[in-house]
């Protein structure tokens, strides 16, 4: 499946992605989300809590392979969010051969009035227990940023890894790169 210039705005949705908001026990392979630079339309994925360029929340046995994204991904709707170029939140999910290129990951609000906590990653916002990322990559033209008045955890590849003991059966990163 190739999604070109999707515009998904679900400001009150818990999980938002260009292909799927939330997945359980799902196999996704060879999918891409891209910008067609010959038009004025640009890929934009916007949601409240878990927001990803491809999948908002991938959980419990979801397997994603050889997928790529190039999207503007924004989690500006809530006080907490996990936002990633490919997936916002992953728990007990496996990813292999996936990439984020020319992705822009953003979260928070420029007018934050209360406590806000956001995690942002070039590929995945938050990697939870049992998540495995193998041979995945983010490129230098992937930008990750949060607003000044919010608390942000940000990374070129992953924003926050929960109970991660790299190399153990918790959250695992194998042969992954960030350029």
Instruction: Chunk the chain into consecutive blocks of 10 residues (it has 179) and report each block's average pLDDT, rounded to whole numbers.
Output: 88 89 97 73 81 94 94 76 91 90 71 63 88 81 59 80 54 59
- According to DSSP, the β-strands at 63-65 and 99-100 are unpaired
Give me the pLDDT at residue 39, please: 56
| Residue closest to 97 by CA, chosen among 134, 123, 126, 50 | 134
Give me the pLDDT at residue 32, please: 93
Q: Give dist(CA 137, CA 46) in Å, integer.
A: 22
Give me the pLDDT at residue 176, please: 64
Residue-wise pLDDT tens digits, 46-71:
888 899 999 999 999 999 999 999 88
Q: Give dist(CA 62, CA 91) in Å, integer.
A: 9
Q: Give dist(CA 156, CA 137) in Å, integer.
A: 10
Q: Give dist(CA 39, CA 36) in Å, integer.
A: 6
Q: Give dist(CA 132, CA 141) in Å, integer.
A: 24
């Amino acid at each position: 499946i190739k999604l070109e210039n999707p515009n998904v705005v679900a400001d009150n949705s818990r999980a938002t992605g260009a292909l799927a908001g939330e997945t359980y026990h799902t196999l996704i392979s060879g999918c891409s989300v891209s910008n067609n630079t010959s038009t004025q339309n640009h890929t934009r994925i916007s949601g409240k809590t878990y927001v990803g360029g491809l999948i908002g929340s991938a959980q419990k046995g979801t397997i994603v392979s050889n997928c790529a994204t190039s999207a503007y991904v924004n989690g500006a709707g809530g006080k907490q969010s996990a936002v990633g170029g490919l997936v916002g939140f992953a728990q007990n999910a496996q990813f292999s051969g996936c990439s984020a290129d020319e992705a822009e990951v953003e979260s928070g609000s420029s007018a934050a009035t209360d406590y806000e906590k956001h995690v942002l990653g070039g590929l995945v916002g938050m990697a939870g227990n049992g998540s495995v990322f193998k041979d995945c990559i983010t490129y230098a033209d992937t930008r990750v940023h949060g607003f000044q008045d919010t608390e942000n955890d940000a990374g070129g590849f992953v924003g926050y890894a929960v109970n991660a003991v790299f190399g153990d059966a918790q959250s695992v990163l194998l042969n992954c790169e960030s350029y």
